[in-house]
Structures are given as structure tokens and as C-alpha cells.
Amino acid sequence: MAHIYNCAILLLFCFISPSLSTPRKLTALVQEQPLVLKYHNGVLLKGNVTVNLVWYGKFTPIQRSIIVDFIRSLNTNRVPQPSASSWWKTTEKYRGGSSNLVVRTQLLRENYPLGKSLKTSHLKALAKKLTVITPASSITVVLTAKDVAVDGFCMSRCGTHGSTLPGRGSARGTYVWVGNSETQCPGQCAWPFHQPIYGPQTPPLVAPNGDVGIDGMVINLATLLANTVTNPFNNGYFQGPATAPLEAVTACTGIFGSGSYPGYPGSVLVDKVSGASYNAHGANGRKYLLPAMWDPQTSACKTLV
């Protein structure tokens, strides 16, 4: 069953009450929420995990490099702190140890072979093209360009993850889908780099790689990769019903730095030259803004700054 990384950000703003007039009260409201993700005794993706990428639609080489560099950053230690790899290390606290993501195959589908309006079945079909040639511990990431519409995109989800059965005698695979929201719904799926659809209209943060759509995709991809390795087959770590679970990062939606509250991402780092906001250093000099992740040892959402 697919797990939807839905418009939790939108809901985040909807829950802001006019009576909560000060940041301190909003912060207290968030802190009072109990947060426990139960382990449901299922398999997690641990050890070396192959990551394959399907680029559906037109992405520039720079856009592709931003995302590939991000995935490689998750296991790159020789960078300044705070780093993307230190963020990813929180997944080691879930049962089974570390998950080492290794980028393997990239498939370009720039000519829109399935059209520009996709259904979930299309996403699974695209994922299966690479799932059938990879080991059991693998994730196929389908990335759709800014001019591609996907069922539920911008209405109920910014991306999703799930599993597939590629064929008789083949290993079960997992997949992630993330769409570029730049021209469709940046206020929903690229916040805080764009003003939100609802809630306080505070100035957006400057995207660390200069691309609102792609930097927004990084946030959503980070969310779904963490959710996938900790709950790949709907029986790992989550809270609530299995059909609409809160997972490792979706349990912490909207939190990027200390002091966050609904509508405010928290205190993050700012590049002195570009003015861009970030909280993680990555490979090849990249900087990223990564969401908080639930820490099993503290039962709380953990931020890098």
C-alpha cells in the first residue's frame, strides 16, 4: 500500500487558532502533543540500499545534480557540520542499524512516454522498469517534472512511497514518487521557499540551491526516503492507521529548526553571501534544508539546528 506524503503542511496552517496570538503559545501547543511511533515487527531497509532514479519529463543537468548530490550526501561524512549525513544517522536508531543509500541507475524519460497526466498505476509501472533489475533492498525514485500532473498532486499529496511486486520469482521492491511543484503548487509542496496557501503570509526563505521547485523536491524526497527505510512494507515504524500513517518525518511536518511552530519553520542557518536558508551541508559544497525526523531514543522530533 502506498503511503502518501500529503498536504500536511496545508493542515499545519489550518490548525492555527486566532486565539494563539504569541509564538510562545504556539510552541507550547506543539510540544504538548505526545509522539510515539510504534514498531509493527516488519522488515526495514538496512545495510546497503540501492537507489535508482527515473526522471520523467524535462529536468536540466543542474537540477538532476542537486538531487543526486543530496542522495549521495546522506552517506558523505567529510563535509562541515551540521550535515545531511548527520541528519540521516537518525535512521540508525531505528531497529537494524544503518541504511547506506547507493545511487545506481538513472533512467531519463524526457519525451513523456505515458503523457503528462499520470495515475498511481503509471508511477508503479515506471518504478518497475528498474525494480526488476535491482536487489531486494532497493528504492526506485520516480521524479516528475514541473509540467507533469499526477493524481492527487497538489490536492492531497506532494509525493508518496509504496511497494511493488515486480513479477513471478522477483523480489519485492519499494518506490518513491516526488513531483516538482514549481508551477503547480509551490505554496503547498515547496514551503518554506514559497508563501503558503493558507496561514501567515510571512516572507519565504531563499532556496539554498536557487531553485524553489527542486529545493522543495529535496525536502519531500528526504521525507519519503526516511519514511521508506523505516516503514517500507507498511509494517515498520508508524503511528495511527496503516492506511494513513504518521511516519519518521511526516510525524514532524513543518519543523526545520529550533523554536518552530505552525507557519514558522524554526531558526535555521543563513548563507552570508546568497542569503539562502539551510540547515545541512552536503556533497560537492551543496547546502540543503532538511525536515526534522522522529528520534526513537527521545521520542521527539530532532532538528539539525
Helix (H, G, I), strand (E, B) or coil at 88: helix
Give the pLDDT confidence score for residue 30 in this predicted structure: 45
* Positions in the chain whose pLDDT score sits under 50: 7-30
| Sign of torsion over alpha carbons 305, 75, 157, 192 | positive
Angstrom distance (rounded) from CA 61 to CA 237: 35
Give the pLDDT confidence score for residue 22 in this predicted structure: 26
| Single pTM value for the model | 0.90
Give the pLDDT confidence score for residue 166 in this predicted structure: 56
The pairing of beta strand 47-56 with beta strand 138-144? parallel
Number of H helices, E strands in the chain: 7, 16
